[in-house]
Amino acid sequence: MQFLHQSLISLKSPEKATFLQRFFKTGKGEYAEGDIFLGLTVPQIRSTIKTFYNLSLNEIESSLHSKFHEERLSALLILVHRYEKNPKNRKEIFDFYLDNRKAVNNWDLVDLSSHKIIGHFLFHFGEDYPVYKVLLANLTKSTNLWERRIAIVSTYYFIRNNQFDETLHISELLLKDKHDLIHKAVGWMLREVGKKDVGVLKSFLKKHIHEMPRTMLRYAIERFPEKERKAYLKGKV
């Protein structure tokens, strides 16, 4: 773990870190208040972690609870790699992710990991573990913003496998959510549903258009032709 930390520190860029701390809203009262960046790009991180794929879960856990955003992201990307390459250990890694989800505390950390671990496991093995059947629905009730985002973004794996019920169910549960980052995430997942089956998306919109937050709607219909998009935004559908 210490070697991973040192490798990341050696690449730090104070100028980029300043930009990233503004971009990811780390100021007082903002959604990522207090998060600290080194100023690394995702390609830099992906290149660096290639020699650290064999870290133990204890070492990954230490990095996952680092104060540095990029170190937490590194730990998650290593975990995703381990999950994908070690089928026999997927249950252990899934449980580890859930146990440490408080460290998955910014939108990029959620978006680059949750569907690849939580989504994949629930899609393939959820029926084998009754306790997990309501996991995503329970996460939507969390007071923690990132747990709610994990819930909806995890359904991306279902969408990619042409199953939409989970996404639509979680989207309905989050319709009245107050946070813009949830509006964006739900809208994004609905847009992905539309890429697979626009009829399913339009049926959802017809039912919920008048209660959907504006941002959620905009994201969901982003790929519609301009005339149709304007009609939806005016509620004339």
108, part of any domain: no
107, part of any domain: no
Q: Using one digit for the tens of pLDDT, what is the confidence trace for 90-101?
A: 999 999 999 999
Neighbours of 119 (CB within 10 A): 24
My answer on whether 137 and 213 are in the same domain is yes
Query: Residue 63 corresponds to which tokens in the numbers above?
Result: 């990095």
Please state, in angstroms and rounded to a whole number, the distance separating the CA atoms of residues 37 and 14: 9
What is the per-residue pLDDT for 129? 87
138, part of any domain: yes
My answer on whether 67 and 160 are in the same domain is no
Query: Residue 38 corresponds to which tokens in the numbers above?
Result: 């080194």
90, part of any domain: yes
59, part of any domain: yes
Confirm if 40 and 16 have CB atoms less than 8 A apart: yes
Confirm if 119 and 155 have CB atoms less than 8 A apart: yes
Q: Which domain holds residue 87?
A: 1-102
My answer on whether 207 and 141 are in the same domain is yes
137, part of any domain: yes
Within the chain, which residues score under 50 in pLDDT? none
- Spell out the residues 6+ positions from residue 180 whose beta carbon is closer than 8 angstroms to its own: 215
My answer on whether 55 and 146 are in the same domain is no
Q: Using one digit for the tens of pLDDT, what is the confidence trace for 126-161?
A: 988 888 889 999 999 999 999 999 999 999 999 999
174 phi and psi angles, rounded to 5 deg: -100, 10
Neighbours of 112 (CB within 10 A): 17
Total number of domains constituting the chain: 2
What is the per-residue pLDDT for 130? 83
My answer on whether 79 and 166 are in the same domain is no
230, part of any domain: yes
Confirm if 136 and 166 have CB atoms less than 8 A apart: yes
My answer on whether 135 and 18 are in the same domain is no
As to burial, measured by CB atoms within 10 angstroms (0-12 exposed, 13-18 middle, 19+ buried), residue 226 is exposed
Predicted TM-score of the model (pTM): 0.95
CATH of the domain at 187: 1.25.10.90
My answer on whether 149 and 86 are in the same domain is no
Confirm if 189 and 167 have CB atoms less than 8 A apart: yes
Domain boundary among 38, 69, 102: 102
Task: State whether residue 36 is helix, strand or coil.
Answer: strand
Smallest CA-to-CA distance from 146 within 94, 105, 188 is with 105
My answer on whether 158 and 210 are in the same domain is yes
Please state, in angstroms and rounded to a whole number, the distance separating the CA atoms of residues 52 and 134: 34
My answer on whether 58 and 122 are in the same domain is no
Q: How many CA within 13 A on the CB side of residue 153?
A: 24
- Spell out the residues 6+ positions from residue 224 whose beta carbon is closer than 8 angstroms to its own: 232
Domain boundary among 49, 67, 102: 102
My answer on whether 54 and 155 are in the same domain is no
My answer on whether 39 and 6 are in the same domain is yes
DSSP bridge pairs for 36? 68
What is the per-residue pLDDT for 225? 95
98, part of any domain: yes
Please state, in angstroms and rounded to a whole number, the distance separating the CA atoms of residues 11 and 44: 8
Domain boundary among 69, 102, 135: 102
My answer on whether 233 and 127 are in the same domain is yes
